[in-house]
Structure 1
Amino acid sequence: MKYLLLIYNNQTIGTGPDPDAEARLQGHMTLVKELDAAGRLVSSAALGDGSGVRTVRLGAGGGVPAVTDGPFLEAKELLAGYYVVECDTIDEAAEVATRIPCGAGGAVEIRPVNEEVTDLVRGDIPHRS
């Protein structure tokens, strides 16, 4: 089963240069190599700092979508990156998540991928009415 591991970093902790940034980068590089060698890595990416983010909200009742600057979520964490991993159980995905270096105050959210709906949307399986 595939799991999406969403990495959130707390953008309000500390100011100025981040002395742990290089160690986190090396940690990600090591983790990617290990997951890839084990055949568990499906995808991963680092995301931008949020300065170029746009949010699209659909209008009520099919109204015109509105595009606004920024994520403007009611949270101190910013979505910083993700991994998609292949694991047998959510506990295995949680073990991988504990190895993701997300920094002080950061968090990793684990979400199972709904592969049946994904395959249906992609046209990989016929739709049953």
Structure 2
Amino acid sequence: MEYLLLIHSETSGNAEAVPEAARQQMLSAYRAYTEALQGAGVMRGSNRLRPASSGTVVRMRDGKTEVQNGPFIETREELGGYYLIDVPNLDAALSWAARCPGASHGTMEVRPVWPMDSY
């Protein structure tokens, strides 16, 4: 079964303000985690996301398209990236989520994928 591991992290800090050594340590931790997922044969996809402030929201209201540039919500955390994994069950997905470096500095949300062909 596929699960999306959503990495939520603090928005208060600026990535450029993080010391280079700490940034390299975090990148190494994510590389090792990614390699572990790949080695286990469970990874289906992964990417980082740009900050919410760079996003755009599109809504249809009364037949008209509304476009709004970010940021959109007041929150301490924002979605920073994801891993799509394919594992046997929720317990396995939770185990992988707990191993993600994002779990130590933010929140991991584990969400089962609902395939379009299942309804």
TM range, normalised to the smaller chain? 0.7 to 0.9
Matched residue, 1:124: none
CA RMSD of aligned residues (A): 2.3
Matched residue, 1:87: 87
Alpha-carbon distance between aligned partners in 2 of 1:96 and 1:48, rounded to the nearest angstrom:
23
Segments of 5+ residues of structure 2 without an aligned counterpart are none
Letter in 2 for 1:25: L
Alpha-carbon distance between aligned partners in 1 of 2:80 and 2:97, rounded to the nearest angstrom:
14
Aligned pairs for 1:15-94 within 5 A = 17-19=17-19, 20-59=22-61, 63-94=63-94
1:35 is paired with a residue whose SS is helix
User: Greater helix percent: which structure?
Assistant: 2
Give the direction of change, closer, same or farther, for the CA distance of 1:49–1:35 in structure 2 (3 Å limit): same
TM-score of the pair, normalised by structure 1: 0.78
Alpha-carbon distance between aligned partners in 2 of 1:49 and 1:25, rounded to the nearest angstrom:
17
Segments of 5+ residues of structure 1 without an aligned counterpart are 121-126
Larger Rg: 1
Which deviates further from its counterpart, 10-19 or 104-113?
10-19
Identity %: 32
Aligned length: 117
User: Greater strand percent: which structure?
Assistant: 2
Shift of 1:11: 1.3
